Amino acid sequence: MSMNNSPNVFLDPNANRFQVNIINESHDNNETSQEDVGSDPPHYEETSFTDGAHNRLRISYRPGKRELYDNFLQNGEKTEASLHPYDTHNKMYYLQTFGHNTVDPVPKIDYYRNTGSVSGNKLSRPSLLEIHEQLAKNIAVSPGSVERVANGESTAGDETAVSKEEENKSGFVKFGWVKGVLVRCMLNIWGVMLFIRLSWIVGQAGIGLGVIIILLATMVTSITGLSTSAIATNGFVRGGGAYYLISRSLGPEFGGSIGLIFAFANAVAVAMYVVGFAETVVEILKESDTLMVDESNDIRIIGTITVVCLLGISVAGMEWEAKAQVILLIVLLVAIANFFIGTVIPTNNEKKARGFFNYEASIFAENFGPDFRSGEGFFSVFAIFFPAATGILAGANISGDLKDPQSAIPKGTMLAILVTTIAYIGVAICVASCVVRDATGSINDTVVPGMSCNGSSACSLGYDFSRCASQPCDYGLMNNFQVMSMVSGFGPLITAGIFSATLSSALASLVSAPKVFQALCKDNVYKGLHFFAKGYGKNNEPIRGYVLTFVIAMAFILIAELNTIAPIISNFFLASYALINFSCFHASYAKSPGWRPAFRYYNMWVSLFGALLCCGVMFVINWWAALITYAIELFLYIYVTYKKPEVNWGSSTQALYYINALDSALALTTVEDHVKNFRPQCIALTGAPMIRPALLDITHTFTKNNGLCICCEVYTGPRKLCVKEMNSGMAKKQAWLTKNKRKAFYAAVAADSFRDGVKSLLQASGLGRMKPNTLVIGFKKDWRNAAATQVENYVGVIHDAFDFELGMIIVRISQGFDISQVLQVQEELEKLEQERLALEATIKENDFEEGKSGICGFFRKASILNISKHEKKKESTINTIQSMHVGEFNQKLLEASTQFKKKQGKGTIDIWWLFDDGGLTILIPYILTIRKKWKSCKLRIFTGGKVNRIEEEKLVMASLLSKFRIKFADINIICDINIKPNKESWKFFEEMIEPYRLHESCKDITTAEKLKRETPWKITDAELEAFKEKSYRQVRLNELLQEHSRAANLIVLSLPVARKGVVSDYLYMAWLEILSKNLPPVLMVRGNHKNVLTFYS
């Protein structure tokens, strides 16, 4: 095999960096083809993965095919003409970017998609294990599977049939940024306010303050637009608009609360816009004296017909709705243009009498300053105008129907804000430069020669409107809402503009509300609303949401109390704006690496200012509506938080939790430990937490809300299998702790032995000051039947805990902790029960089928009969298994596993505080008594003393406990601890240790030495004699415990310490066995001999 190192290859500017060539197989290494000798020699060759060393791949170009190969490299596509997957030996090879066989994939967007992505199928790259481990040689390779593995695709899951919704993707109607965002936002922002109320606003505030009001409202919407753009460009945006943006940034709690009220606000806004349209129509009918019933009922009738028509357009599909929006925009633009044209058309006497004089400097000067009347002020006028600036989320609300939401939302929204703001300012300045504030409308109110003007611009222009100061007038900026119709070139076009503004806004809201609501229901944040998540047609239209929106809109149209509800709706929109701004600030502040918006023109502090500004504007518009909005949002937030929907969107709230936890942990490292702040921080060797729940429960009782608890598991065995099992179970076991409300962490290690694993945990667990200081393990009940290495490991763990200066707690209950057999039986029974239910469901389905005549009916009945027999067989199998496992399903064991979950009745916790270990032996039971389940139990103290000093010893202990502020019920001084136990007890102890004794004194020296070497774990006679007194003490203590504490709810006992290397493992286990045998639950505790209690303040 050779490599062409010709410099021409590297100097060729057209050559690809990673060159790929056709694969050919040659049986003779020296054999070359004519094509290889040509002007385009091979760049390199690679060896395949096949076993035979003689099988080689020669990578070469065919003449004139270089462009085809370049295209192959760039697109990753193969053509029949260019790739021949099989060689003469029927083995398959495949190409990769790097020119050799590999399962290591190149970067590809499909690996980063979410499951169920509508923009493409998610592919699964090979796992690290598949790449890291040796490639299996006995895998049968098919042409398709190798290609898929080579590209990092899975060979099973991804080949399943694509759902019908995905198949219809080609039929989606997707909008660009103009039709999808710009048009919708402009139509929604330009409301009826432009034609009816803007003249009144500029009349009240004047041109100067009027422009400031417009700019202030625009500032709120612009900041919100910038924040929206930043969030929208930080990843793929799906349908749901404001709800989607907020929920994915701040989490389901904020998103779920604001999503519901935002969808409701849009639904009610439909009614508001439709009533505005109906009122205009009724005014026209009134002028022509053609009312159907009366004003209010005519509004209801026209409103109902209008909503039905709009619903029809919406249900027909997004393309029809988009066409209607474009038509309405054209009408609206013509109406605005008509106004501007009207301002330059010379006026007539009738219009002059109504206050319109074309552009006049004197009118501009007069109207520049404010003239607030009827109790109005700057903020009240601003509150009236602000709803005219809303509507900036109309494009974002249909984000799921946009071709490229990340590009369309920023461009369309910001341009719409700019265009509409210019239009508002232009109309305000023009109308205030042409029309005076007050006019009588009478053409006879002209200035009489010789009359002195009062300084008004109308007077200087020949009209006397001075009587408007003493009596109301009907015309002018302050009095007539139809000023724009009067000024315009053709009045009916303004009416058409009003129709267009109201209908377009109503249509946009009618589309927005169901889309947002559907996205909310799909996320299943409110489980009761999941019915509305279903979509229909190629665009996944929320037909059910449309109907619900229609019902809400109709209800408010018929109620006709929109003036009351309007401020609340405005505040709902503002609350959405505030949260969008806060989302942008929060995501930036959390400094998550996932916050990488493509839109750069935002600032976190500006977004925060925008959020505060929105909250301020809410109170400016209507303080009681703002309070109602906050109350509703708070209620929904608490509800969603309580329900805890099972979603994980990587919100900035999660990122901030991490930042706060990290900062707190770092800050804690600078704080020196103090005895007053000591708390048990425990490593509990539970294994899988569900296997030994009782051990977890008792540990959790004194660590909950008080200290650290880590449930640990050690995997031993073949490393590869252990690591795989450990990695696959981590999340599941932590989830079990969370589900069962256990405030604990789960940690696991893979090690060569149990002791090595625990040693690793003792050294590496925890973070900073949050490190374990106490080890909790269950008593090894089967130590007499276990292998010597297991006993050695168990006792070695205790020694290691003391070496690392940790406290030690050994817990023993009569039934033991391990309930794995019980769980296994339960799992089997659950599987069988599921099978039985599935069979019942099948039979019910068959029962509902219509009977068929003839031979078909016969076979159908036979089929049902078969199923019935099968079901009876299954039921009998279940019963057999239940009776079979009745012995194994140990009810006592199951009850024992839950004993620490139950509320403990009135009783005692007996503390045998025999040795001063720093106070852990007394602190643990004290913590138990302040827990709800144990608060009815009293503490009884037992300690050793001398016969002639019983009262003095009691007083000393009582004084000590009083200084520690630990309440107790009784103190008992035990004076006969050191006497010999009775013969039966000692005989039992001797019989227990007999299998583990060496008996070297009965053998010759050589034999004894040999036995010591072969069984070093056995108890020697010398050792037993040396520790006879200590053995007596353990046996005697059990007798005393039987005598005094047999009826206690819990016994807390000082743990005896075995000197390392001196006391054998089996002798120590015998001490622990005899000490805690036939007793209520026992905690054998030994602190690290550092103070955990203090009486100093």
3-state SS, residue 683: strand
How far is residue 327 CA from its own chain's centroid?
A: 42
pLDDT value at residue 82: 40
State the burial class of residue 452 (Cβ atoms within 10 Å of its Cβ: 0-12, 13-18, 19+). Answer: exposed
- As a whole number of angstroms, the distance between CA 369 and CA 134 comes to 83
Contact between 358 and 434 (Cβ < 8 Å): yes
Cβ-based neighbours of 315, under 8 Å, separated by 6 or more: 541, 543, 546
Give buried/exposed letters for 565-596 (b at 16+ CB in 10 A, else e): bbbbbbbbbbbbbbbbbbbbbbbbbbebeebe
Which 8-state DSSP code applies to residue 932?
T
Q: How confident is the model at residue 170 (pLDDT cuts 50, 70, 90)?
A: very low
Among 26-30, 535-539, 627-631, the range with the most confident prediction by mean pLDDT is 627-631
In this prediction, residue 561 carries a pLDDT of 63
380: amino acid identity, one letter:
S
pLDDT, one tens digit per residue, over 1030-1041 is 999 999 999 999
Length of the chain: 1097
Winning range, highest mean pLDDT, from 285-299, 302-316, 463-477: 302-316
pLDDT of residue 1070: 94
* CB burial of residue 728 (10 Å; 0-12, 13-18, 19+): exposed
Q: Map residue 392 onto helix, strand or coil.
A: coil
Q: Which of 524-538, 857-871, 947-961 has the highest mean pLDDT?
A: 947-961
Each residue of 956-996: pLDDT tens digit?
A: 999 999 999 999 999 999 988 888 999 999 999 999 999 99
> In which band, very low, low, confident or very high, does the pLDDT at 695 lie, cut at 50, 70 and 90?
very high
The predicted pLDDT at position 60 comes to: 43
pLDDT reported for residue 806: 93
pLDDT tens digit sequence for 664-676: 889 888 888 888 8
pLDDT of residue 175: 81
Sign of the torsion formed by the C-alpha atoms of 571, 573, 577 and 579 = positive
C-alpha distances (whole Å) from 90 to each of 56, 86, 749 are 14, 6, 46
- Mean of pLDDT over the chain: 79
Amino acid at site 248: R
- How confident is residue 310, by pLDDT bands cut at 50, 70 and 90? confident
